[in-house]
Amino acid sequence: MKEFFTTVSRIILNNIDPDLFSESEIQSSLERPQNADHGDIAFPCFVLAKKLKKAPVQIAKELEQKLVSSISSTEDLASCLATGPYLNFKLSPKALCKIVNQVLIEKDSFGNSTIGQSQKILIEYSSPNVAKELHIGHFRNTILGQSLTNIYRSQGYEVISLNHLGDWGAQFGKVAYGYLHYGNEEELKKSPLSYLMSLYIKVSAEAESNPQVEIESKNLSKKIEEKDPELIKLWKRFCELSINGLKLVYERLGVYFDHYIGESFYMDKVDSLIQSLKEKNLLEESDGAQVVFLKEGDPPCLILTREGTSLYATRDLAAAIWRKQEFQFNRCLYVVGSEQKLHLSQVFQVLEKMKYDWSSQLEHIAYGLYRFKDGKFSTRKGRVILAEEVLNEAVDKAKQIIEEKNPQLADKAKVAEIVGVGAVVFNDLSTERAKDVEFDWNRILDFEGDTGPYLQYSYARATSILQSDKVHGYVSKSPKPESTWIHEKATHELIKQIAFLESNLSASVRLNKPSIVANYAIDLAHRFSSFYQQIRILETNASKEDTEQKLGLVSAYRIVLEKTLHLLCMKVPEKM
């Protein structure tokens, strides 16, 4: 679409005083008309009003007249009409064919750009505490972070994805206590995460009624901090088992990290941090603890406890400094729940006070929570809803639906996995980041709603058209402007949406919102469905040439849909 935006802005510029406006100024104000019937690209004439000292409606009218000859001399534009203060341009059939051709040539790199070139972005996401299972709350930052990683990469950014595991803190003492007192190797090997978590829950409960348990657990924590070799060995083993367990869930979600760097990694960097805070005269005593005072209204940032041990924020400070040194990022995004807003703002403020000019490159990407529509959800322990349980239930439900709809399907288990997981992932990502995610089993798995399964079904349908016996031996071709069906509204709307992929990807990056891509995909699939209903693709008496061109558009659609789904961490079934 970019090239057409350039064409439009040049035409406008040629017909106004070029000294008053720049091409980029005009180009960046181009938009999609509110009403698709008006055209494909709109130019709001308000942009010119001030400098031209005329009313936008009048400017639009005058430009419409002036532009007639320029429009007829371009290949890409069919018309330009003034509607109120807007000038609306329509793409020509030739332009539409060019778009399809471009997709067929570029394949899944269509929509990519180089706007992020030479920009390095570190994205931190998921970051659960180890020895605990992933719960439903982790879905959001895990999937959001991965999807942002994918989308940023498509726009040419170099992204480093990082999991800041919570592998340090009081929970270790408790888990170690549990393991040393009543640990069971068999159980641990069978399902490490849930077993370690059950130990933690058990010991926490015991500690509430028996202070001795609390004291002993704390002692164990302390011993780990003091690097007791036996305990360190045990702790390392728990971490490894935890990471392996996490990876199983991550893999189902299409989530991969360049680095797993837990909080413990920064322990030996705390001393130099303290040193530097002291040198900069920022460390002050408050109630026996060492703190940094921040802007008025904010509580101070706790750096060391009375006992001299480091805290969560201390490790985050050391982590930020190390990351900057190590990776030299241009930006660092923290995909972390909004309940940690104050914490991160404290960390960022301390870095600013330390005069790190890069502190302004750190951003908190916050998000809403999960809400259950009907409140019903079977949980094993009655407290947290585990990520794996949600996925398994979604896959079971998908299996039942497939069994009803398409009992002959080969590979039913595999397809159910793709569809069930996809339903959960899409429900999450299609929700605007700051909003809470509504979780309603019936809705997320509705094959006809605006859901993941609907998109996957549409993909499978496009695949089946391309592989139909009727077109055996046919090759997908780029359509020709003379073909009558190219002039149909349904075709026009579908191709136009394809062309808008790149601008949606760049908007998604600008606002850190994968939901823009999710909604784009839904819109795209709706248009394909109208196209499919109106244009008979596998018509028996159509010429081979004509059918091959239609297959070209179906192919292009399939390429673009698959790409957007991959950006959204979803897999696609060839049959469904």
**Minimum separation from the CB atom of position 125 to ligand ARG (A):** 9
How many residues sit in the footprint of ligand ARG (CB under 6 A)? 9
Nearer Cβ to ligand ARG, position 80 or 336? Answer: 336
| Interface pattern 262-301 for ligand ARG (x via CB under 6 A) | ----------------------------------------
**Angstrom distance (rounded) from CA 535 to CA 258:** 45
Q: Which residue is nearest to ligand ARG (CB)?
A: 166
Residue of 234, 301, 336, 553 interacting with ligand ARG (CB under 6 A): 336
**Angstrom distance (rounded) from CA 190 to CA 193:** 9
**Angstrom distance (rounded) from CA 299 to CA 235:** 33
Q: Can you say whether residue 39 is alpha, beta or left, with left for phi > 0 and alpha for psi between -120 and 50 degrees?
A: left
**Minimum separation from the CB atom of position 37 to ligand ARG (A):** 47
**Minimum separation from the CB atom of position 290 to ligand ARG (A):** 19
**316 binds ligand ARG, rule: CB under 6 A:** yes
**Minimum separation from the CB atom of position 128 to ligand ARG (A):** 5
Nearer Cβ to ligand ARG, position 86 or 367? Answer: 367
Nearer Cβ to ligand ARG, position 129 or 191? Answer: 129
**Minimum separation from the CB atom of position 169 to ligand ARG (A):** 9
From 293, 272, 275, select the one nearest 284 (Cα to Cα).
293
> Got the DSSP string for 113-125?
--TTTT-EEEEE-
Nearer Cβ to ligand ARG, position 341 or 405? Answer: 341
The total of other beta-carbon atoms located within 10 Å of residue 457's CB is 18
- The answer to whether the CB of 347 falls within 8 A of the CB of 316 is yes
Sheet holding 362-365, edge to edge: 259-260, 158-163, 120-124, 331-335, 362-365
| Interface pattern 107-136 for ligand ARG (x via CB under 6 A) | -----------------x--xxx-------
Nearer Cβ to ligand ARG, position 11 or 291? Answer: 291
- 3-class SS of residue 309: coil
The total of other beta-carbon atoms located within 10 Å of residue 482's CB is 10
Give me the amino acid identity at 38.
H
**Minimum separation from the CB atom of position 347 to ligand ARG (A):** 8
Residue 332 exposure: Cα atoms within 13 Å on the Cβ side: 23
**314 binds ligand ARG, rule: CB under 6 A:** no
DSSP state of 40: S
> Got the DSSP string for 460-500?
HHHHHHHT-GGGTT-------TT-GGGGSHHHHHHHHHHHT
**Minimum separation from the CB atom of position 380 to ligand ARG (A):** 20
By residue count, the chain amounts to: 576
Nearer Cβ to ligand ARG, position 250 or 334? Answer: 334
Beta-bridge mates of residue 162 = 124, 259
Torsion angle defined by CA atoms of residues 318, 319, 320 and 321, in that order, rounded to the nearest 10 degrees: 50
**Minimum separation from the CB atom of position 375 to ligand ARG (A):** 25
For the packed helices 489-499 and 544-567, what is the interaxial angle rounded to 10 degrees? 40
Nearer Cβ to ligand ARG, position 225 or 548? Answer: 225
**44 binds ligand ARG, rule: CB under 6 A:** no
Nearer Cβ to ligand ARG, position 149 or 458? Answer: 149
Please name the residue that has the structure tokens 């040193």: 275
Residue of 334, 370, 531, 532 interacting with ligand ARG (CB under 6 A): 334
Nearer Cβ to ligand ARG, position 44 or 166? Answer: 166
Phi, psi for 210 (deg, rounded to 5)? -125, 100
Using CB under 6 A as the binding rule, the residues of this chain from 48 to 87 that contact ligand ARG are: none
Nearer Cβ to ligand ARG, position 42 or 175? Answer: 175
Nearer Cβ to ligand ARG, position 165 or 465? Answer: 165
Using CB under 6 A as the binding rule, the residues of this chain from 160 to 179 that contact ligand ARG are: 164, 166
Using CB under 6 A as the binding rule, the residues of this chain from 493 to 552 that contact ligand ARG are: none
**Minimum separation from the CB atom of position 121 to ligand ARG (A):** 15
**Minimum separation from the CB atom of position 81 to ligand ARG (A):** 52
The total of other beta-carbon atoms located within 10 Å of residue 525's CB is 23
**Minimum separation from the CB atom of position 52 to ligand ARG (A):** 51
Q: Contact residues for ligand ARG (CB under 6 A)?
A: 124, 127-129, 164, 166, 316, 334, 336
